[in-house]
């Protein structure tokens, strides 16, 4: 196995920075690419409260560790640019996946302005870790086929077109980040759209040793959060898929669903094509 970090598709000349998703917490939920980047880091920049000490410990001896909890983004980026311009390999670690609520856009712009090439390494996001811990599919056929990842306004705000009311009206599997402080308003708004008994998973520090994870009816979401005094590192997953009907079954694996790799003609199309969907829907009954 090569020990090189996978090259970015396009490189700016000069030193490079790796922006790496550290996953939800458990060190063994790091990707191999993330682990390799950390193992080769000369400077590790990390929000210590959100990244496990065991992940930080993967950095080699002599690697400088910059902890960011008390820094502004400007201060942090000044340190990153300085180290990268000095020719050091800088790894900026983010919890979960960097593309979600990680100020990735600002960092990439700042590094591009400085002419520093960047590689982004994806990570497992909190919603994926939560679904896995619950052994749940968030896209159950015939029930829900859409996942929404969002947050409530708070200080950052969200565009009016993405108001919680509009998202809730979809009745999709709704994963809410950064929202525990506003759980009372969230519950009240969601109750306008989802039935009160809709299951809500509440995950605190999912995949960490002190993980707390429960599923309650929507009408008890705020009370359950209050009882645990949840404020941060909490994810809500509101979804009918957390209590799917017994007959829910993927058409893709149904004996009656033919496709290219299982006795089907190419014109059968993908599993979602309307012709095959109609056939398979009638097959996806308890009689299967
Ligand atoms: C700044 S956002 C970063 C999200 C991260 N980039 C991701 O993909 O999971 C931090 C929020 O993510 C959620 N979060 C991150 N890790 C979590 C975990 N292990 N358990 C539960 N929620 C988590 C919480 O909503 C937390 O407030």
Amino acid 278: pLDDT: 33
233 CB under 6 A from ligand 1? yes
Q: How far is the CA of 95 from the centre of ligand 1 (A)?
A: 7
96 lines ligand 1 (CB under 6 A): yes
HEC secondary structure over the chain: CCCCCCCCCCCCCCCEEEEEECECCCHHHCCHHHHHHHHCCCEEEECCCCCCHHHHCCCCCCCEEEECCCCCHHHHHHHHHHHHHCCCCEEEEECECCCCCCCHHHHHHHHHHCCCEEEEECCCCHHHHHHHHCCCCCCCCCCCCCEEEEECCCCCCCCHHHCHHHHHCCCCEEEEECCHHHHHHHHHHHCCCCCCCCEEEEEECCCCCCCEEEEEEHHHHHHHHHHCCCCCCEEEEECHHHCCCCCCCCHHHCCCCCECCEECCHHHCCCCCHHHHHHHHHHCCCCC
Asked if residue 6 has pLDDT above 60, the reply is no
Residue matched to tokens 């996942």:
147
The predicted-structure confidence for 148-164, as pLDDT tens digits, reads as follows 999 997 777 899 999 99
The CATH homologous superfamily of the domain defined by 127-242 = Tetrapyrrole methylase, C-terminal domain (3.30.950.10)
Which tens digits make up the pLDDT trace of 53-63? 999 999 999 99
Q: What pLDDT was estimated at residue 287?
A: 29
- Region 261-269: mean pLDDT is 52
Domain edges within the chain: 16-124, 127-242
CATH 3.40.50.620 fits 16-124, yes or no: no
What is the residue with the minimal CA distance to atom 7 of ligand 1?
Answer: 96
Q: Examine the pLDDT at 10 and tell me if it is beyond 50.
A: no
């Amino acid at each position: 196995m090569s020990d090189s970090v996978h090259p970015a598709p396009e490189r700016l000349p000069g030193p490079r920075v790796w922006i790496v998703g550290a996953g939800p917490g458990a060190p063994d939920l790091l990707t191999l690419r993330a682990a390799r980047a950390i193992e080769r880091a000369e400077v590790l920049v990390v929000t210590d409260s959100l990244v496990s000490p065991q992940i930080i410990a993967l950095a080699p001896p002599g690697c400088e560790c910059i902890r960011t909890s008390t820094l502004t983004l400007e201060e942090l980026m000044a340190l990153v640019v300085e180290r990268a311009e000095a020719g050091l390999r800088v790894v900026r670690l983010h919890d979960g996946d960097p593309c979600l609520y990680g100020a990735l856009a600002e960092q990439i712009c700042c590094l591009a302005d400085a002419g520093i090439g960047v590689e982004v390494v994806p990570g497992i996001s909190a919603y994926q870790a939560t679904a896995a811990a619950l052994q749940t599919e968030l896209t159950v056929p015939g029930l829900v086929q859409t996942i929404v990842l969002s947050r409530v306004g708070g200080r950052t705000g969200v565009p009016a077109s993405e108001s919680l009311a509009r998202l809730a009206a979809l009745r999709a599997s709704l994963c809410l980040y950064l929202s525990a402080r506003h759980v009372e308003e969230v519950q009240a708004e969601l109750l306008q759209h989802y039935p009160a008994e809709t299951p809500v998973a509440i995950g605190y520090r999912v995949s960490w040793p002190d993980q707390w994870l429960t599923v309650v009816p929507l009408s008890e979401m705020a009370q359950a959060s209050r009882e645990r005094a949840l404020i941060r590192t909490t994810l809500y997953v509101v979804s009918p898929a957390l209590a799917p009907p017994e007959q829910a079954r993927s058409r893709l694996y149904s004996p009656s669903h033919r496709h290219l790799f299982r006795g089907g003609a190419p014109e059968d199309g993908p599993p979602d094509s309307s012709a095959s969907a109609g056939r398979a829907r009638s097959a996806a009954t308890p009689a299967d």
